Amino acid sequence: MLVKRASLALLAAAGMAMSSGALAQGKGDMGFYIGATFGQSKVDLEDCGGGVDCDDKDTAWRILGGYQLNRNFALELGYHDLGTATQSVPGIASIDFKANAIEFLAVGMLPINNQFSLYGKAGLYRGEVKASATLFGVSDSLKETNTDLTFGFGAQFNVTRELGLRAEWQRYTSMGDNATIGESDVDVMSLGLVYRFQ
């Protein structure tokens, strides 16, 4: 009888330890994080060629903050400077498009192991495009804002429990206003760091 009671006590203690470990692991997957990315943007410019020169690539950078609800799901808020794209007719006219976006995203994560995971994200952005045009030496400018969809995917490698490295692709759909400066998709390839608070 004493052996049976001791066995039951040991089983109960083991069960409590396993439950505590699971709770601790679940809690470890939750929390706030911050990050930054750096990469290259590409604007889907129209009417290129035939005497119109286009420079559709530039440096892009982002700062972000998020909250991880569990090991598979997080919410992110970020600001993304998408750089400048240029269209020009040499000696006649040129126009620069400078864009940025504030974004709110849902992030779905698929852990492969303790260090490596794949993720996809989707949400809304509030974008701003500033167009600066010069025609025969006369300059003018215009600013437009719009709200549309953004989505992307990537991979994260956790160097430590707090610090992770990201590589990702993201698209901002229909940036700009078609009635004035036109709409263009903007794609960004980037590398970044995220730091999770424990």
pLDDT tens track for 151-178: 999 999 999 999 999 999 999 999 987 7
Is 146 part of any domain?
yes
Is 68 part of any domain?
yes
Burial call 96-131: b when 16+ CB within 10 Å, e when fewer? bbbbbbebebebebeeeeeeebebebebebebbbeb
For residue 139, what are the domain limits? 30-196
Is 17 part of any domain?
no
Domain count within the chain: 1
CB 66 within 8 A of CB 33: yes
Is 150 part of any domain?
yes
Is 83 part of any domain?
yes
Q: What's the pTM?
A: 0.81
CATH number of the domain enclosing 62: 2.40.160.20
Tens digits of residue pLDDT in 64-86: 999 999 999 999 999 999 999 99
Is 6 part of any domain?
no
Is 60 part of any domain?
yes
Give every CB contact of residue 103 below 8 A, 6+ residues apart in sequence.
Answer: 76, 77, 78, 79, 80, 123, 124, 125, 126, 150
